[in-house]
A and B are shown apart, each in its own frame.
Chain A
Amino acid sequence: MPVVLSPMAAGIFAHESFGHKSEADFMLGDESMLAEWAMGRRVGSEELNIVDDGTVSGPGYNAYDDEGTPSRRTWLVRDGLLAGRLHSASTAAALGEEPTGNARSISFEYEPIPRMTTTFILPGRETFDGLVSGIDDGLFVKTVNHGSGLSTFTLAPSMSYRIRGGRLAEPVGVSVITGDVMETLGLIDGLSGELDLRGAGGGGCGKMEQYPLPVGFGGPFVRVGAMEVR
């Protein structure tokens, strides 16, 4: 069914479902992963832009990463096209690209590896009411307990509302919404104009043995044409 994601839910989607796939160490020595992340590949509408930005104030802020590379904004998706990936110095060298300031470690005990900073979907032009009004029967996901980004991404809502006849209706209990990451990007058909960034709960992001790392995420209200709701 059609789903409107709050900025928090959209941010978790951007981080868990999409952002981890942009970390370049997952692509090293693997032609299939590199082919999936081919620069210039269309993954969404022209309105879709996703960035990772270590210069944004908040828990993902880093003046420099843990190898000394200055932080910056990295466009992951620009105008709907894959545009970049997140690097440490070694992954950048291996792929013949520039470091992006994303080499991070959770403490002195661990080595820096490519990690996100603040990852978010850039706002569009619609309003929240406008996004909802276009849905006859759907779901608004306001808050999310957690999400994941494996072969199938998942978001576990903690507060959701049914959308009926273009308006918010009753609260509804939903265990999980799920879908294919790249397919879902292509189904995003509306972005509101506001941008809300926040920090990850539960201490931060985990990647392999390194948990927790402070990160930020967020976005506007995002309408997705179809998601699987359980």
Chain B
Amino acid sequence: MPGMTRERVVIGTRKTTARIAGSEVKSIRRSDVLQTGLRLYDGRNIGTAGAIGSFDPAELEKRALDSISCGIEYPWEIQGPAVRRETVSLKGIGHDTLAGEAGSFMAAMRSKWPDLVFSESFTVEDTGISIRNDRGLDLSTVLSSVAVVLTYRALGSTGIIDGWVSAGPCRRWDPDGIRAEFDEFLEAWHEPVDLPRSGRLPVVFGESSLPLNRLSLELSGHRYGTGTSLLAGRVGEKVFSEGFSLSQSRIPSVDDCSFFDAEGVFHEGYSLGLIGGGVLRAVCTDRRTAARFSLPHTGSASGGYDTIPQASADHLRVERSDRTLSELLGGEPAVYIALASGGDFTPEGAFATPVQLAMLHDGTRFVGRLPELRISSHLFRMFGDDWMGQSADDISAFYDSPSMVMRMDVEKAGD
């Protein structure tokens, strides 16, 4: 069709999962799913259609063409010529060996921890994501990983979950090493300790945490543009601590995602600074959001294989400091948040949450299990005056797991 540009998005996922219940492998699940999306651009509008598995190309094109008549505007230049591939491989385990490895791993866990009942899964996954169009764009990322997630309950407990341990996505399978890390955590979990004191204490979060999730909302280009973000109008201003820098990071081996966004946009180094030294530099936009609100385009489009791309503030990464967790804490004991569910931020940025599972951490190891806690603060304090830093080192040797440290108000639940 003259004047029409075609773009094809293909996502292939091959996954093998060993499901764990009662501390044993209860089932093996295999899936191999190919998703193909076709986008058509006529210079004014976009049309999309998708198929799972095998499909008739002519029929897919007809459906995409039909959907152009829905009138979804897309007058922007689509991504031009570029060819690049990135592959992240997995060593030491595969789809065919997962069941046996999971069985051996769980036999050791049952032997070591007979008082705990483990559930959840081991997963080996290969994902290929590609985007190609008539303008010479040809990008693809292939990611392979293994992940272990084990929730547990103590025999005699009436809770659904008493805690969890996990590793992944990992690029190499080292069952002895991973189990040693789980054992260290679980040994500490079996040692109840008291909160050193109530009040303002160092609190340690993993990368994917409520504070960062909330910050990602405030960095939404749409929220920023409509004035509903707490950061609205503050690009160029110092909004957080000088020690706080944040990037949109799409490094496949680290962030476990494609190096390009849903519109085929990528940055050299696969990273773009959004906050530097506490100064807000940019908010997350796709082409539509950037044009609508006259904001810089950051290549932050997300979407499924068959959907219209839309802006999202995903793949955010706090830049590491040059200090280890131990150095950040400076000898002070810290509250490591292992399970905190149900709390939230108010629209003004105040934050409070119950902490169902917190561990005392001395900067080098887990010391013991703290009682149920409540923590509270405010978005601008957490990443501002109370920000202590992002650790240079990782909690786990097997996957990317820096620690985010900030002072917060901490008290025992029920006090």
A residues bordering B, Cβ < 8 Å? 20-21, 25-26, 28-30, 32-33, 36, 109-111, 145-156, 173-176, 178, 208-209, 228, 230
Quick check: B119 and A175 within 8 Å, CB to CB?
no
Quick check: B356 and A151 within 8 Å, CB to CB?
yes
The one of B162, B345, B356 in contact with A152, judged by C-beta atoms closer than 8 angstroms, is B356
Residues on A with C-beta less than 8 A from B149 are 209
**Complex Cα gap A174–B345 (Å):** 9
Distance in Å: Cβ of B98 to nearest Cβ of chain A = 15
> Chain B: which residue is nearest A17 at the CB level?
B342
> Chain B: which residue is nearest A174 at the CB level?
B346
**Of A30, A33, A150, most B-chain CB atoms within 10 Å:** A150
Would you call B339 an interface residue if the criterion is a C-beta within 8 Å of the partner chain's C-beta atoms?
A: yes
20 CB contacts below 8 A, A to B, read: A20-B160, A26-B160, A32-B156, A109-B15, A111-B27, A111-B29, A148-B341, A150-B161, A150-B356, A152-B354, A152-B372, A153-B342, A173-B346, A173-B348, A175-B352, A208-B120, A208-B121, A209-B120, A230-B343, A230-B352
> Chain A: which residue is nearest B345 at the CB level?
A175
Residues on B with C-beta less than 8 A from A145 are 344
Besides A148-B342, A208-B119, 18 more A-B contacts (Cβ < 8 Å) are A26-B160, A30-B153, A146-B342, A147-B342, A149-B160, A150-B159, A152-B342, A153-B342, A156-B342, A173-B346, A173-B348, A175-B351, A175-B352, A176-B343, A176-B352, A176-B353, A208-B151, A209-B17
**Of B345, B354, B376, most A-chain CB atoms within 10 Å:** B354
The one of B17, B155, B342, B372 in contact with A176, judged by C-beta atoms closer than 8 angstroms, is B342
Quick check: B22 and A29 within 8 Å, CB to CB?
yes
Residues on B with C-beta less than 8 A from A28 are 21-22
Would you call B287 an interface residue if the criterion is a C-beta within 8 Å of the partner chain's C-beta atoms?
A: no
Quick check: A32 and B120 within 8 Å, CB to CB?
no
Quick check: B155 and A32 within 8 Å, CB to CB?
yes
**Complex Cα gap A148–B153 (Å):** 17
Distance in Å: Cβ of A204 to nearest Cβ of chain B = 16
Quick check: A154 and B33 within 8 Å, CB to CB?
no
Quick check: B342 and A178 within 8 Å, CB to CB?
yes
The one of B121, B156, B343 in contact with A175, judged by C-beta atoms closer than 8 angstroms, is B343
List residues 125-166 of chain B with CB under 8 A from any CB of chain A: 149, 151, 153, 155-162
Residues on A with C-beta less than 8 A from B151 are 208
Would you call B108 an interface residue if the criterion is a C-beta within 8 Å of the partner chain's C-beta atoms?
A: no
Residues on B with C-beta less than 8 A from A32 are 155-158
Quick check: B19 and A111 within 8 Å, CB to CB?
yes
Given known A-B contacts A28-B22, A111-B27, A175 and B33 have beta carbons under 8 A apart:
no
Residues on B with C-beta less than 8 A from A36 are 158
Given known A-B contacts A151-B356, A152-B354, A175 and B29 have beta carbons under 8 A apart:
no
**Complex Cα gap A175–B408 (Å):** 15
Would you call B361 an interface residue if the criterion is a C-beta within 8 Å of the partner chain's C-beta atoms?
A: no
Residues on B with C-beta less than 8 A from A154 are 341-343, 353-354
The one of A30, A110, A150 in contact with B341, judged by C-beta atoms closer than 8 angstroms, is A150
Would you call B374 an interface residue if the criterion is a C-beta within 8 Å of the partner chain's C-beta atoms?
A: yes
**Complex Cα gap A218–B121 (Å):** 32
Residues on B with C-beta less than 8 A from A153 are 342
Distance in Å: Cβ of B69 to nearest Cβ of chain A = 28
Residues on A with C-beta less than 8 A from B159 are 150-151
**Complex Cα gap A111–B18 (Å):** 12
Quick check: B376 and A230 within 8 Å, CB to CB?
yes
> Chain A: which residue is nearest B348 at the CB level?
A173
Residues on B with C-beta less than 8 A from A26 are 160
> Chain B: which residue is nearest A145 at the CB level?
B344
Quick check: A176 and B344 within 8 Å, CB to CB?
yes
List residues 313-372 of chain B with CB under 8 A from any CB of chain A: 339, 341-348, 350-354, 356, 372
**Complex Cα gap A147–B353 (Å):** 11
**Complex Cα gap A177–B414 (Å):** 12
**Complex Cα gap A109–B15 (Å):** 10
4 pairs of A and B residues whose beta carbons are closest in the complex = A154-B342, A175-B352, A156-B344, A148-B342
Would you call B117 an interface residue if the criterion is a C-beta within 8 Å of the partner chain's C-beta atoms?
A: yes
Quick check: B343 and A156 within 8 Å, CB to CB?
yes
List residues 17-49 of chain B with CB under 8 A from any CB of chain A: 17, 19, 21-22, 27, 29, 31, 33
Residues on A with C-beta less than 8 A from B346 are 173-175
Residues on A with C-beta less than 8 A from B348 are 173
**Complex Cα gap A26–B339 (Å):** 19
Distance in Å: Cβ of B210 to nearest Cβ of chain A = 10
The one of A29, A156, A230 in contact with B117, judged by C-beta atoms closer than 8 angstroms, is A29
Would you call B413 an interface residue if the criterion is a C-beta within 8 Å of the partner chain's C-beta atoms?
A: yes
Quick check: A173 and B22 within 8 Å, CB to CB?
no
Distance in Å: Cβ of A184 to nearest Cβ of chain B = 13
Distance in Å: Cβ of B338 to nearest Cβ of chain A = 12
Quick check: A175 and B376 within 8 Å, CB to CB?
yes
> Chain B: which residue is nearest A154 at the CB level?
B342
Quick check: A155 and B29 within 8 Å, CB to CB?
no
Quick check: B342 and A33 within 8 Å, CB to CB?
no
Distance in Å: Cβ of A126 to nearest Cβ of chain B = 28
The one of B120, B155, B343, B350 in contact with A30, judged by C-beta atoms closer than 8 angstroms, is B155
> Chain B: which residue is nearest A33 at the CB level?
B158
> Chain B: which residue is nearest A157 at the CB level?
B344
Distance in Å: Cβ of B42 to nearest Cβ of chain A = 32
Quick check: B353 and A175 within 8 Å, CB to CB?
yes
Residues on A with C-beta less than 8 A from B345 are 175
Distance in Å: Cβ of B170 to nearest Cβ of chain A = 17
> Chain A: which residue is nearest B26 at the CB level?
A111
* Interface residues as binary, B200-236 with A (CB distance below 8 Å gives 1, 0 otherwise): 0000000000000000000000000000000000000
**Complex Cα gap A21–B220 (Å):** 36
Given known A-B contacts A30-B153, A111-B29, A176 and B158 have beta carbons under 8 A apart:
no
